[in-house]
Amino acid sequence: MPDAEPEIPGNDPVPAALPSEESPDAVDDDSPRGGKGALREWTESLVFTIAFVLLFTNFVAQATQVPTESMKPTILVGDHFFLDKLAFPANYPRFVQPVLPARSLEQGDIVAFRAPDGGPVPFVKRIVGVGGDVVEIREKIVRVNGAVLDEPYKIHVDTHVYRANAFLGSGLMGRDNFGPVTVPDDAYFVMGDNRDNSRDSRAWGFVSHGDVIGKPLFVYWSFEGGAYTPGRRSLLDRVRGYASVAANFFGQTRWFRTGTLIR
């Protein structure tokens, strides 16, 4: 029987390589292919976020404000509030509007609607009369269907009563004495709570239900500032405005109005 071969130290048999546990398709995140995957995820997340914001602000709720004192004291210049836009067909494409449910509105509701002059900034006023109502104003007193309207929210900043006069402008002539007029079906007669400082249905007529885009909900931030004329501003004016707000944020923010319900 042949002698066994002597064992040589350090000459142990090499074990066979074990199969890798990683999937053959696994890609290192640091590789070019992994970088493309991360870029794709980031792009998809950005697109989803933009789409969500656009859908939310166009069809559900929108942050807005008013540029004038026409709704004082209910809404102040500098009040930033959310606008409830659900169930108002005016916010949706025209071809689907006929099949959408419409929000019912009542006397006393505050609504936002498309600007009668075609401007980009919506108007915010209070409904005084609905379809079929007869609205009349005599010496600043509003009557609807012959009854004096109870309006604890309104204010008058001018005690003078303007009567019909050939030398008065149309705005002053109809400010304190107006009508009577009958509100058409599917329309509203609206007025600002600051009765002596508001251009409303007394000046440009009724608001169609199809032009109503929402109802104010609550104030989320209020910054004390003056009335302004809405419109396009230069980049320099915008920078100055933002810088002023940043510099006076704590001193001019009306903290007590945060969360105020608008009604």
CATH superfamily for domain 55-257: Umud Fragment, subunit A (2.10.109.10)
Judged against a pLDDT cut of 90, whether residue 214 lies above it is answered with no
- Which pLDDT score, from 0 to 100, does residue 39 have? 74
- The rounded distance, in Å, linking the Cα atoms of 112 and 196 is 20
Q: Where are the domains of the chain?
A: 55-257
Average pLDDT over the chain reads 77
135 burial (CB, 10 Å; 0-12 / 13-18 / 19+) is: buried
Give per-residue pLDDT as tens, 24-56. Answer: 444 454 445 555 677 766 665 656 555 544 544
d(CA 161, CA 165): 12
pLDDT at residue 59, as a whole number = 44
